[in-house]
Amino acid sequence: MEQTQGRADGDLARLIAAGDEAAFMAAYDDHASLLYAVVMRLLSDREAAAEIIQETYLTLWQRAAQYRPEAGSLRTWLMRIARNRALDRLRAEARRPHLVSVTESMGSDGGWMPRADDRNQAGDEPGPSLERRWTQAVVRTAVAGMPHDERKVLVLAYDEGLSQSQIAARLALPIGTVKSRTRRAMARLRDILGTVPDLVDGGVGEAIDGSR
Amino acid sequence: MDHAEAHERLADLALEPGRLIDLEADPTPEERALLAHAETCSTCRAELADWRRTHSAVLAASTTGGIDPTGRLEIGSAESSAGPPTSLRVAVADIPRHSPRLLDPASERPGARMNGDEQRSRWRTSAVAAVIIVGLCVGLGAIAADQVQRADVARQQVRALVGLSTSLDRVLRDDGHTAIALVGLDGAPGGTAAWSSSEIVIMTTALTSPGPDAEYRCWVERDGQRTAIGAMRFADGVAYWWGSLDRYDGTPLDGGGRLGVSLEQTGQSGSHAPVLLGELPS
């Protein structure tokens, strides 16, 4: 299966390298939704996310000949380009001496105050590393794409630390139902995360190489 | 433990967050048998590695702030779930017509040969690109080291203005868009605000950057209450702000009131007199 996909990706990249615009747009239709969803979730800025995806496909158009299917899928390759550009953008924003937050809310006194998480986004204060934020964006995108019942059991297990039997009690469901939902949810996660490079390790914070 | 049994056990253990990551730490006899099988079975070994990678990433996300995509702390979660805008596909489809490729001669195949017009067109594109690249190289070479930073700022400004014009173009192409004039303290026209159903653009050439301690804040005022919607940025003489309206569900722009810009201290609440003001339609 992976070999077949590798061949298909290799053929597609060769066509793009030869100037085939239909192949180029096929690569867009195959992967842009996931790329955009992850980058959008990371940057929280539609305009910036669209720019990153556009730059990613510009790179594909200009450098398709450099793609090597044996090093990973085309999606993995594109995902790495988008990731690097998105993280570069966040680093550049964090270096700016004065950065204006565009998402603000009313303070308790009726006045207007920047939100704490906005300041973290901008890099003004210590927050999670960019690599961790990338990983979180990927995982949240994958979870967002799940059916609600599968998403629910996963969030209860990971964010609230509940065991399978505790989840069953909380949701008033048979334990077998909870297990089968969790199993399906984890399988979906595994499929999606398997194509994403440079995810962060939950224990020590090191990047895990995405090539398989 | 045989292969089918190991596969089943792996699937069971994958249900427990992080359990597969430190399986070696304190394994039960059954888990020890699983590990022994994985030593000799490349399929199960690969599967175990896959699960560990998945668990590690999910745990990292969980400890960073949670995996719940609808989480309260996540900014723009509603926008995140939307697909890419149609305009992005159009822009990407335009890339082949406007961007010279870095051709690998070996990748040119007989089936992909261009006709004469295409060849001439591509040649012209390549020639123009080459002139631009050479010009940039010469220009950049002439820039002294202390000017590099200014060049960087200029590039950022160009990028910001391109983003601004793209956003404004998108708003104005929306059939349902609204545009109002903003006037200054003297009553003279001072800027423009335009918005569609999903985004807003505010721009003026009447303001200059106030420095790091202050900012020109954009707001909607209704019944004497101001709701901030953003703050102006500055690029090459243009002050602007654009953003999504999705995150301001409670502040529709077509309900009357005033849209204004005032100079405020950065990071502090405030309600100074407007320097630009426009009436919102009812």
The listed range with the strongest mean pLDDT (A68-82, B201-215, B218-232) is A68-82
Pairing of the two strands B214-222 and B258-265: antiparallel
pLDDT score recorded for residue A51:
92
On chain A, the residues whose CB falls within 8 A of the CB of B61 are 132, 135-136, 138-140, 158, 202
Residues 164-183 of B with CB under 8 A from A: 166-167
pLDDT score recorded for residue A200:
73
* Helix, strand, coil percent content, chain B, rounded in steps of 5: 45, 20, 35
Residues 76-95 of A with CB under 8 A from B: none
Q: Which of B69, B92, B271 sits opposite A28 (nearest CB)?
A: B92
When the pLDDT of each residue in chain A is averaged and rounded to a whole number, the result is: 79
Give the ranges where chain B is alpha helix by DSSP (H).
3-13, 29-40, 42-64, 77-80, 86-98, 116-142, 145-173
The listed range with the strongest mean pLDDT (A45-59, A101-115, B171-185, B208-222) is A45-59
A8 interface with B at CB cutoff 8 Å:
no
Q: Is 90 exceeded by the pLDDT of residue A169?
A: yes
pLDDT score recorded for residue A38:
93
Q: Place B71 in a pLDDT band, splitting at 50, 70 and 90.
A: low
User: Is A117 in contact with A183 (CB distance < 8 Å)?
Assistant: no
B141 Cβ contact partners less than 8 Å away, ≥ 6 residues apart: none
Average pLDDT estimate for B30-46: 88
Complex-level ipTM = 0.76
Q: Which of B14, B81, B226 sits opposite A144 (nearest CB)?
A: B81
Tokens describing residue B76: 């723009």
Interatomic CA distance for residues A58 and A61, integer angstroms: 5
B17 interface with A at CB cutoff 8 Å:
yes
A111 or B86, which is more confident?
B86
Which of B12, B92, B97, B198 to mutate to test binding with chain A, by most A CBs within 10 Å of its CB? B92
Residue burial B270-282, b: 16+ Cβ < 10 Å; e: rest? bbeebbbbbebee
pLDDT score recorded for residue B247:
57
Q: Is 90 exceeded by the pLDDT of residue A196?
A: no
Which region among A5-9, B63-67, B81-85, B102-106 has the lowest average model confidence (pLDDT)?
B102-106
B243 Cβ contact partners less than 8 Å away, ≥ 6 residues apart: A102, A103, B199, B200, B229, B230
pLDDT score recorded for residue B223:
84
Q: Is 90 exceeded by the pLDDT of residue A184?
A: yes
A51 interface with B at CB cutoff 8 Å:
yes
Q: Which of A76, A37, A64 is nearest to A53 (CA)?
A: A37
Residues 104-143 of B with CB under 8 A from A: 104, 106-109, 111-112, 114
Which region among A55-69, B204-218, B233-247 has the lowest average model confidence (pLDDT)?
B233-247
Interatomic CA distance for residues A124 and A179, integer angstroms: 42
Q: Is 80 exceeded by the pLDDT of residue A105?
A: no
pLDDT score recorded for residue A85:
92
Q: Is 50 exceeded by the pLDDT of residue B127?
A: no
pLDDT score recorded for residue A59:
92
pLDDT score recorded for residue B199:
83
pLDDT score recorded for residue B101:
57
| A148-158 vs A175-193: helix crossing angle, rounded to 10 | 90
pLDDT score recorded for residue A104:
40
Average pLDDT estimate for B8-29: 84
